[in-house]
Structure 1
Amino acid sequence: MNPPVVVTIAGTDSGGAAGVAADLTTFAALGVHGACVVTAVTAQDTTGVHAVHPVPYDVVVAQLDAVLDDLDPVAVKTGMLGTPEVVRLVAERCAGRLLVVDPVMVATSGAVLASEAVVAAYREHLLPVATVATPNEEEHAALGRPDGPGVIVTRGGDVPTTNDHGTGCTYSAALAAHLAHGASLTTAADRAAAYVTQQLVAGKDWTLGRGRGPVAHVHTTPHRGEIA
């Protein structure tokens, strides 16, 4: 039996906590095959975003065409899209599929990742065709506080930890994975929240990096002697 295919359309995080890295590890943990379309390359660590290099539009189009035409994903999950043109592209090409929009505008560190034009494109083009959107509180305000059953405002988690970089990406990726498996939106949302809590607990005492550490993206505990 083939696993469902879910594609993430997002940026990279060189620290491995958020973006495409978070999405693909979450997809793998939850039993879906992850494909990816990279929209931007960031120089990022636990202390912040130090540089952003948008992927040329034609390369984003080529990646998306390759995935949609060959793998026919059940669900699409978006993260950092970067430009209004890419937001409109996703709205045009992915409408009609299960579409989880994580409107990444502000990083955990506070770095602003979306211009006013990008925010306007979300409001005008992408949110109207989304199955569900998962903004955090700042993003929800920037979007004009849209409401309804298709909007879930995320708040990280109630686990006491500073290792929460990537929780928004992880939640929306888990939500997309459960929707791809056929869960209802309510069930998928509950299961995604439980998954994020589980991973926050797993990494709550880590000391990785000098800033806000990553939410755990490991899913097995090696036995003694299995790693050097």
Structure 2
Amino acid sequence: MASPIQSLHSEYLSQNTISDLTTPIVLTIAGSDSGGGAGIQADIKAMSATGSFACSVITAITSQNTQGVSAIFPIPLEHVASQLDAVFTDLNIVAVKVGMLADSEIIKIVAEKIKQYQPKHLVIDPVMVATSGDLLLKESAISTLKAELIPLADIITPNLPEGAALTGKPVPESESDMQDMVEELRALGAKSVLLKGGHLEKDENSNDLLILPSSSSLISAKRYPTKNTHGTGCTLSSAIASFLAQGNELNQAVNLGKKYISEAIAHADELHVGQGHGPVNHFYAGHANVR
């Protein structure tokens, strides 16, 4: 019997002839998590597990583990820029996932390079707060993110506190509150928004709201009782970017990404990592995607 990831990968293969297949390359622009559960490390794991080749540009180094973030060191701007130039001038990058950017100047550099190199797909996970509650994006940088980078995105993937920070509305406490945020999220200028409802912990299911220019729909998955949810946002946005790079339309990429993160959470307790919020299980399906 095929594993869930084998099934996801088969869906991709069935939609593409062999002659159409090239190595789908995805770039993650994000911070490094020394604990390995989120950030660049989670992105690379998710992209690899879903069948793409991952490359990276590191924007910040965090001193971090499953219990929290103790220090953040932003990478000097010239080194962020040189990393971006290095990968874009050599690799055929089809999709880009943007995560932690730390400050306004780094956001501006990333936006400038995205405009310069124009990758086909841009997924932005507006990382502002870690699972532990630690602030990862300076408040002064939120307006820069909204003005410079979000309007370039195919999709942004805020959780409920991030949606509130971006719109100025209260943090949603129900699906109805999520619906009330739709117009403000559309006004940010991205082509689409995936508002993640994982923080509504009393709900039986984990429901995300996919907001398109003229419609919105709920994407639902079973909620699994586990404290090991470190890196879920990084993982989901990376999986969506990976599936976009493989030629899937946006709706399909989001649905495949949702299936992948749900299974990674379902298998999270098979790992025993750290004493706090442990990571999801990116490779729960083993080596199913090795061709």
TM over 0.5, shorter chain: yes
* Contact preservation (8 Å) 1:161, 1:205: no
1:147 is aligned to 2:167: no
Equivalent-residue separation in structure 2 for 1:184 and 1:34 (angstroms): 20
Equivalent-residue separation in structure 2 for 1:116 and 1:210 (angstroms): 29
Equivalent-residue separation in structure 1 for 2:279 and 2:273 (angstroms): 7
> Which amino acid is the alignment partner of residue 187 of structure 1?
Q
1:47 is aligned to 2:67: yes
1:9 is aligned to 2:47: no
Match of 1:208 in 2: 273
1:205 CA drift (Å):
4.9
1:117 is aligned to 2:140: yes
Residue in structure 1 matching 2:226, options 161, 165, 170: 161
More deviation, 76-85/152-161: 152-161
More deviation, 87-96/174-183: 87-96
How far does the alpha carbon of each residue in 1:154-195 deviate from its partner, in whole angstroms, 9 at most, with x for none? 234521111100000000000000111111111111110100
Match of 2:248 in 1: 183
* Contact preservation (8 Å) 1:100, 1:133: yes
Structure 2: gaps (5+ residues): 1-20, 168-180, 199-205, 207-222
1:220 CA drift (Å):
4.6
Could you list the structure 1 runs, at least 4 aligned residues long, displaced by more than 6 angstroms after superposition.
Answer: none
> Which amino acid is the alignment partner of residue 226 of structure 2?
T
> Which amino acid is the alignment partner of residue 196 of structure 2?
T
1:206 CA drift (Å):
3.8
* Contact preservation (8 Å) 2:163, 2:185: no
* Contact preservation (8 Å) 1:104, 1:114: yes
Match of 2:7 in 1: none
* Contact preservation (8 Å) 2:26, 2:242: yes
1:85 CA drift (Å):
1.4
Equivalent-residue separation in structure 1 for 2:195 and 2:240 (angstroms): 13
Equivalent-residue separation in structure 2 for 1:197 and 1:106 (angstroms): 21
* Contact preservation (8 Å) 1:164, 1:212: yes
Equivalent-residue separation in structure 1 for 2:111 and 2:138 (angstroms): 18
More deviation, 142-151/54-63: 142-151
* Contact preservation (8 Å) 2:229, 2:279: yes
How far does the alpha carbon of each residue in 1:64-88 deviate from its partner, in whole angstroms, 9 at most, with x for none? 0001111131011011011111112
The CA RMSD measured in Å over matched residues stands at: 1.6
Give the percent of matched residue pairs that are identical in Structure 1 and Structure 2.
43
Structure 1: gaps (5+ residues): 223-228
> Which amino acid is the alignment partner of residue 129 of structure 2?
V
1:102 CA drift (Å):
0.4
- Tell me how many residue pairs correspond in the alignment: 222
1:92 CA drift (Å):
2.1
1:221/1:131 CA distance change after superposition, 3 Å: closer
Equivalent-residue separation in structure 2 for 1:23 and 1:91 (angstroms): 20
Alignment of 1:19-34 (within 5 A): 19-34=39-54
